[in-house]
Amino acid sequence: MEILRTAPNPWGQEVLVGVAWDLLWAAAIAGFLFVVGHHLYVWIMAPKAEKSAAGPAPDIPERVERHSSASRTFHWLMAATMLTLLVTAFFPVIGVQFAWVTIHWIAGIVLTLLIIYHIIHATTKQDLWSVWTGAKEMRQAFESIGKFLRRQPAKEERSGKYPLDQRAYHNAVTLVSVGVIVTGILMMFGVDTWFWASNPYFLSDSTWGLVFVLHGLCGVGLVTMVIAHIYFAIRPEKRWMTRSMIKGWITREEYLEHYDPDLWKLGTEPAGAELAEGSASSADPDGVVPA
């Protein structure tokens, strides 16, 4: 499989020009294989997890608000731009032709603005750390993996508002998104926009190559991640989360079943909520709860 593409520059020197589109197929296949593999795993061989005992829940309302309407709006806007970006980026590659460039860069700008909003919102209004993985989460992860490897039935840990898998996913998405956004903004200098005419000599040809490679790699990575994300969003055992991202609330039972009230004290909305919904880390099958 070809991973990177090079071409001779006008002086005959080989320079990077981008990722090979073989990678797109690889990413899609990886996403598909994960979905199939995970599904089979869950269906056939996943050890049953014990339900964690729900502690007393004196003041829990019938419906627990998990996502504010602002958060939900953000999430769905972001989902739309992300899908737009992916469709405009990759459909032409697979042979569906349409005028994608303008849509792509406008969607890219929308995404960038959303993320800037999100960062500001998260740092000022939300519990920034609720979605990041810290030492505790890492420990938890290692334990889970250990259990998995020993094929011990994992006791489902009740988590804070964002379970480990969501946190890990959020981090990965953050990394990759920053990658596409930064490179994407640089690439804006290569196209005519309403604000400036393109200047392809903004960067040297080899630097452009690197930018395109990074953009391509991150973009392709997003394909796999989005496939996994959508897959989990529609898995039966995760639908309550998906519903909460649509309607905003979870039931008291769901709250008690999945969360540790000490870790998610009601009344605070943690950061990253918009990003991490409905997913599970592909690296952590332990996070999976059979229906």
Partner 1 sequence: MALIGQDISPPDLRAKVTGRARYAEDFRAEGMVFAKLLLSPMPHARVRSVDASRALAMPGVLGILRAAEVNQPDAPGEAALTDEPKYVGEPILALAAVDETTAADAIEAIDIDLEPLPFAIDPLDSLRPGGSNARLEGNVMRLGESGREWEDLKWPQAEFDAAEAEGRLPMGEPTDEWDHGDLDAAFADADYVLEDTIVHQSLTHHPMEPRSSMAYWEDGRCYLYGSTQSTQRAHQAIAGQLDLEPDELVFVGQYCGGGFGSKIAGVPIYQVTALLAKKIQRPVMMRINRYEENYIGRARPGFQAWTKMGFRSDGKITGIDLYIIQDHGPYGRSGDYNTAGAVTDLMYQPDAMRFRGLTLYTNTPPRAAQRAPGGAQIVAMLEPLVDKAARELGIDRVEIRKINAPTHDSEFGPQRITTTSAFVREAIDAGAAQFDWAGKQALSGQRNGTKVTGVGVGLSPYVGGSSGFDGLLLIRPDGTLYIHQGIGNLGTHSMADTARAAADELGLEWDDCAVIWGDSSQHHPYSSVQAGSQTIHAHTRANYAAALDMKRKLQEVAAAALGGSASAYQVGGARVSGPGGSMSFAQAAERAIAMGGEYSGEALPEDINDYTRGSATQLAGQGLMGVARDNFSHEGSTWSWVVGFAVVELDTETGDVRIVDYTGSADCGVVVHPRSLAAQIHGGSVQGFGQARSQKWVFDPKWGVPFAHRLYTARPPGILDVPLSMDWAAAGEPDPQTPIGAKGIGEPPVGAGSAAVTSAIADALGGRCLCRIPLTTDVILAELEGRAQPHALTEIHS
Partner 2 sequence: MAVIRDMMPAFELFQPTSVDEALDVLERHDNTWVLAGGLDSMDWFKDRIKRPDVVVELGSVSELSGIRVSGDGLEIGAMTSLRDVAASEEVRSRFGILAQAAAEVATPQIRNQGTLGGNLIQDTRCWYYRGGWPCYRAGGNICYAGTPRSMNREHAVTGQSRCVAVNGADTAGALVALGAQMMVRNPGGERVYEAEDFFIGPEIDIQRMTVLEPGDLLTHVRIPGDWAGARFYWEKVRDRKSWDWALASVAAAIVESNGTIERARIAVNGVAPTPVRLTDVEDLVQGMPANDDTGMAAGELATRGFKPLRHNDYKVPLARNLVRRAVRGDAA
Least Å from the CB of residue 209 to partner 2 = 7
User: Which of partner 2, partner 1, none has residue 261 at its interface (CB below 5 to 8 Å by kind)?
Assistant: none
Distance CA 173, CA 176 (A): 5
CA-CA-CA-CA torsion sign (222, 85, 175, 166):
negative
**DSSP codes, the chain:** ---EEEEE-TTS-EEEEEE-THHHHHHHHHHHHHHHHHHHIIIIIPPPPBPPPP---TT--SEEE-S-HHHHHHHHHHHHHHHHHHHHHHTTTTT-----HHHHHHHHHHHHHHHHHHHHHHHHHSBGGGSS--HHHHHHHHHHHHHHHTTPPPBPPPBSSS-HHHHHHHHHHHHHHHHHHHHHHHHGGGS--SS----GGGS-HHHHHHHHHHHHHHHHHHHHHHHHHHHHHHSGGGHHHHHHHHHSEEEHHHHHHHB-TTTS-TT--BTTHHHHTT---TT-GGG----
Least Å from the CB of residue 164 to partner 1 = 51
Least Å from the CB of residue 5 to partner 1 = 19
Identified binder of partner 2 from the candidate list 192, 234, 237, 246, rule CB under 8 A = 192
User: Which of partner 2, partner 1, none has residue 207 at its interface (CB below 5 to 8 Å by kind)?
Assistant: none
User: Which of partner 1, partner 2, none has residue 209 at its interface (CB below 5 to 8 Å by kind)?
Assistant: partner 2
Least Å from the CB of residue 194 to partner 2 = 12
Least Å from the CB of residue 104 to partner 2 = 10
Q: Which of the stretches 65-73, 169-177, 186-194, 257-265 binds partner 2 when contact is defined by CB under 8 A? A: 186-194
Q: Does 237 bind partner 2 (CB under 8 A)?
A: no
Q: Does 206 bind partner 2 (CB under 8 A)?
A: no
Least Å from the CB of residue 207 to partner 2 = 10
Identified binder of partner 1 from the candidate list 1, 11, 56, 149, rule CB under 8 A = 11
Closer CB to partner 2, 102 or 123, in the complex: 102
Q: Does 197 bind partner 1 (CB under 8 A)?
A: no
User: Which of partner 1, partner 2, none has residue 234 at its interface (CB below 5 to 8 Å by kind)?
Assistant: none
Closer CB to partner 1, 135 or 197, in the complex: 197
For partner 1, the binding residues (CB under 8 A) are 10-12, 201
For partner 2, the binding residues (CB under 8 A) are 5, 7-10, 12-15, 17-18, 92, 95, 97-102, 190-192, 197-201, 205, 208-209, 211-212
